[in-house]
Amino acid sequence: MTPSGLDIDTRDGVVLGEGALGAEALAAANINPSTGLATDYLNHFNEVVMLMEMLPDMPDCAEDVLDWQPLDYCGHFRQSAFKDKDLAILAYAASPRPVRAHLETLILQIDGAVIDAQDRLRGDTGGEACQAVATLATEEIKPLIAAASGTIHGREEGEDDFADETAQADIDALFG
């Protein structure tokens, strides 16, 4: 069993890109056809990050931050109103193991950072603590969510940096 609670080894020959998991069907459901992953899962984290960032101005959001619970990929879709949630769960089972493992590693890091923030808020919801949690959300959790998004979209770590450098070189050449 994986951390998602899904027994990946008993997926009965489900293959990404074939049958119900064809590229067109996945793309139509907002599931990346290459990775088998959907960015909808990241909403689970984006919501708590938004609340954490609001804490300095709205400390009463601390209760909502404290109510947040980790939820794995498949658990998120089981509870969600996502139209193609069954397809998302099936595609996750068929996603390449290294991609899935990388995403799960990032998710564990995000979960840990949010839990650290919650622990800090349990002890103190004063201005300094709220600002520290907001900073944690912006400087640590958001970059992890961005890395998870990159994984879902099939980008390797650092790939975006290279693309930005190439684009800048093209611009420099145009005006140089």
The pLDDT averaged over each successive group of 10 residues in the chain (176 residues) is 40 80 96 97 97 96 97 96 96 96 97 97 94 97 98 71 47 47
At residue 58, the pLDDT reads 96
10 Å CB burial of residue 7 (0-12, 13-18, 19+) is exposed
At residue 81, the pLDDT reads 94
From CA 125, how far away is CA 6, in angstroms rounded? 37
At residue 44, the pLDDT reads 96
- Give yes or no for a contact between 105 and 4, defined as CB atoms under 8 angstroms apart: no
From CA 118, how far away is CA 131, in angstroms rounded? 13
At residue 14, the pLDDT reads 80
At residue 156, the pLDDT reads 57
What are the structure tokens assigned to 131, written together? 């600002």
At residue 9, the pLDDT reads 40
Q: Is the dihedral of CA 83, 87, 90, 94 positive or negative?
A: negative
At residue 48, the pLDDT reads 98
At residue 3, the pLDDT reads 39
pTM: 0.81
